[in-house]
Structure 1
């Protein structure tokens, strides 16, 4: 697992957006071979979406051959409600880019058969060949999507009852009225996320510091569902300095030193996008002291 630490939320967001841009460009999506991208809602991804939109406006990136799957949606909230995740995604991202409407996949929290909707979503992910990269954010309690503490690490897309603390926290979006906050949501499962070929998590702010520490320095624990990415073969966390406040100093220095070695001793041109050594012979020429 890679941990990329940046000075502040803005620089962490730019790194994340730029990484996604490079991954899409490297993939070279076509109509026959689209890039499948998993997406979150919440405060952390908003600046990421702003940068991705700007890349599109600058003609640096196209989403014409990108298929998206969102993580979750409230049950019983109209799609056009200002707090629905459907509204969130279109306001912050989809309506600003060239993605095809038929390539946008979101859970329908207003269907009659919720269990069937969850299975349909899993089937659709499988039909397009699985998710290439799943972008995620987390809550202060380490939950990813609506997989709150106690969720199974093998969970799939399902109906989820929200914890009372989550309902209270979300009341601020509903005029402070707890009664207006949906109590159920449809969410991808932990296993749905970790089945993606790559997982990128963005974490910003001191209020997420304990969750980051649990994910990085402790074991896999269903009470901190984001920790499941420890077992993923291609996972990366991008965070700001504030989010590292609960990490041991040696942990922060370790991950920063990896970047330093890659940049200064191995050379950026010799490092693949995912952090692997792309050319041993070129690296030998760059620094004979390493061989």
Structure 2
């Protein structure tokens, strides 16, 4: 595990973007796992100003709210289109997000998991971390072997995400999410966090016990993890970082 600490979240995003740009230069058809939320936005902004051609990159979103389709401004499909596909020049046909309006969400989840395998797996998975330790929408407790599935969101997660909606009551109660087992199969995990509010979760994920009661602790088991943290998010860590 490599921990890179910067002064600001923007600097952390820029450092992470350099890593992804290098991957794409070496492998133009690389498969990226794409995260939403506020943590990866500095990464996407920085990557937009770099030179790698991203038109052949393939992408899979981490999750999607049930009941929201791509036309809904709050859907992750819409966020991915706006913040990633359009900003970075990705081919929309090569980027997949679970269908939040699927008639059979359980089948949609299984099909999404299969599509990732059919693509050869994810080369680099971008991640944020929830204040309760969730990765994607894998709320505690979540099995480390779980696959892409339908989940119910914790009240704390809905409250955290209420800033994107008119109120917490408007945040959907369920989602389709890549499972922890799916995420762990990515060849490289890249986790971004910024702000004092994430410091406790980061410290517990990196230095706490490895337990399904804190899903982000899974990263301790992965052979290739890089964390990009601003100084506030890294403030409770004991181990060395660069």
Category of TM-score, reference length = shorter chain: over 0.9
Q: 2:92 — aligned with what?
A: 101
Q: 1:273 — aligned with what?
A: none
| Residue 36 of structure 2, aligned match among 41, 52, 74 | 41
Unaligned runs of 5+ in 1: 257-291
Q: Deviations over 1:84-111 (max 9, x none)?
A: 1111111212112332221011100101
Q: 2:230 — aligned with what?
A: 240
Measure how far apart 1:177 and its partner are: 5.0
Q: 1:158 — aligned with what?
A: 149
**How does 1:133-212 map onto structure 2 within 5 Å?**
133-176=124-167, 178=169, 180-212=170-202
Q: Deviations over 1:245-266 (max 9, x none)?
A: 2223xx2xx233xxxxxxxxxx
CA contact (8 A) 2:30 2:57 kept: yes
Measure how far apart 1:130 and its partner are: 0.6
Q: 2:241 — aligned with what?
A: 255
**How does 1:23-38 map onto structure 2 within 5 Å?**
23-27=23-27, 29=28, 34-38=29-33
| Matched position secondary structure for 1:149 | coil
**Backbone CA RMSD of aligned residues:** 1.3
Measure how far apart 1:222 and its partner are: 1.5
Which range moves more in the overlay, 98-107 or 155-164?
98-107
* Separation in structure 1 between the aligned mates of residue 88 and residue 17 of structure 2, nearest angstrom: 14
CA contact (8 A) 2:150 2:175 kept: yes
TM-score of the pair, normalised by structure 2: 0.96
| Matched position secondary structure for 2:26 | helix
Question: Within the alignment, does 1:65 sit opposite 2:51 as a pair?
Answer: no
Note closer, same or farther for the CA distance 1:25–1:245 as it changes in structure 2 (3 Å cut): same
| Matched position secondary structure for 2:209 | coil
Q: 1:54 — aligned with what?
A: 49
Q: 2:104 — aligned with what?
A: 113
CA contact (8 A) 2:4 2:226 kept: yes
Q: 1:131 — aligned with what?
A: 122
Note closer, same or farther for the CA distance 1:172–1:6 as it changes in structure 2 (3 Å cut): closer
* Separation in structure 2 between the aligned mates of residue 222 and residue 66 of structure 1, nearest angstrom: 32
Q: 1:286 — aligned with what?
A: none
Question: Within the alignment, does 1:225 sit opposite 2:215 as a pair?
Answer: yes
Unaligned runs of 5+ in 2: none
**How does 1:256-275 map onto structure 2 within 5 Å?**
256=242
* Separation in structure 1 between the aligned mates of residue 90 and residue 158 of structure 2, nearest angstrom: 32
* Separation in structure 2 between the aligned mates of residue 195 and residue 15 of structure 1, nearest angstrom: 24
Runs of 4 or more, structure 1, over 6 Å off, are: none
Aligned length: 242
Measure how far apart 1:122 and its partner are: 1.0
* Separation in structure 1 between the aligned mates of residue 164 and residue 120 of structure 2, nearest angstrom: 36
